[in-house]
Amino acid sequence: MAEFNGVPIYQWDPWPEPLVTKSQLSKAGYQPGPLRAVVRYSKSSTGDGFLHLFSPDEGIRRKPPTEKQLAAQVKRKADELKARTCTRCGAVQYFKRDLSGGWCECCWLAVKTADDRHAAAEWAKQVLADGCVILDMETTGLYDAEPVEIAVLDHTGAVLFNSRVKPLRPGRIVERDPDTGVAAVDIHGIRPEDLANAPSFGEIYPALYKALHGKHVVVYNKDFDLPILRATCEEWECAAFEFEKASCVMRWYTQFCGDWSDYWGSYRWQPLPGGDHTALGDARATLVLLKEMVASLSE
């Protein structure tokens, strides 16, 4: 018979009675004596494992714990339980690592979203109190695009600028995206022929510059509109717009809504509610959104 460390090796079923495992001895209150046999079992694809067997007659009786040891065990279990307990709701987690700052995931997210929502509303309140201007544009597409309609409102809703713009490459409005099959005209409905008599960007630039220069400009999806505006200025050899500040309403509104994605570890982007895909209509929808965020502070 094959041996392992000087003791016989048995297959899983059956192994000789009355040999027992170390766990079985421990449950009975004994420490194991000499190793008497092992049982071979399939551990993984990398090789076999061995289960150690002992004689129950050779087990060493454990001494009963002292009162001090029992008290230490109770304290240790209590401390371990406390370390896995959410300090906010009292829910016990399976692992200590499931807590963040002492809170379970549900409490952490509830507090975070509430705080972030309040911060977003406070930002909107400050923006309107300071007197921002709201910019929105419709364009010839998503990439290498030009504006075809631009609108600017002040924080009271007064229209500072609103005009269609004749692009240098109007044909791109009807070009379909190879991945989505969607063209810009499908979104805003502005066709190349609708812009035949519209002023060029060079012609509307002075009025647009007056509406935006030195202002705190807020845009729904700033990272889309402002690079297009900057590139158009360069193409027309116009001086870049100088803003006091530029803010993205979409980022703050996304935080305000609090639609959390565990996969991305951030809030999900939100489309502009109430927009009609015209520059003026979307600018007005952005202003309404800012006011709704401010109104939430009194709830």
**In whole angstroms, how far apart are CA 220 and each of 1, 2, 117, 223?**
79, 76, 17, 9
| 16 phi and psi angles, rounded to 5 deg | -65, 135
CATH 3.30.420.10 in the chain: give the residue spans.
110-298
Amino acid letter for position 240: A
Which tokens sit at 43?
A: 């551990």
The burial of 162, by beta-carbon neighbours within 10 Å (0-12 exposed, 13-18 middle, 19 or more buried), is given as: middle
In angstroms and rounded to an integer, the radius of gyration of the C-alpha atoms of the chain is 35
The superfamily (CATH) of domain 110-298 is: Ribonuclease H-like superfamily/Ribonuclease H (3.30.420.10)
Share of the chain above pLDDT 70, in %: 97
67-92 tens-digit pLDDT: 998 899 999 999 998 988 988 888 88
The CA distance from 98 to 257, in Å, is 25
Three-state secondary structure call for residue 141: coil
- pLDDT mean across residues, the chain: 91
What is the model's pLDDT at position 155?
A: 96
Does the structure show a pLDDT above 90 at 285?
A: yes
Residue 157: which pLDDT band, with cuts at 50, 70 and 90? Answer: very high
Owner of token pair 């109190």 = 129
CA distance 215 to 232: 19
Alpha-carbon span 216 to 242, nearest angstrom: 10
Does position 242 have pLDDT exceeding 90, yes or no? yes
Residue 244 has pLDDT above 80, yes or no: yes
235 vs 100, higher pLDDT:
235
Tens of pLDDT, residues 12-46: 777 778 899 999 988 888 899 999 998 887 765 55
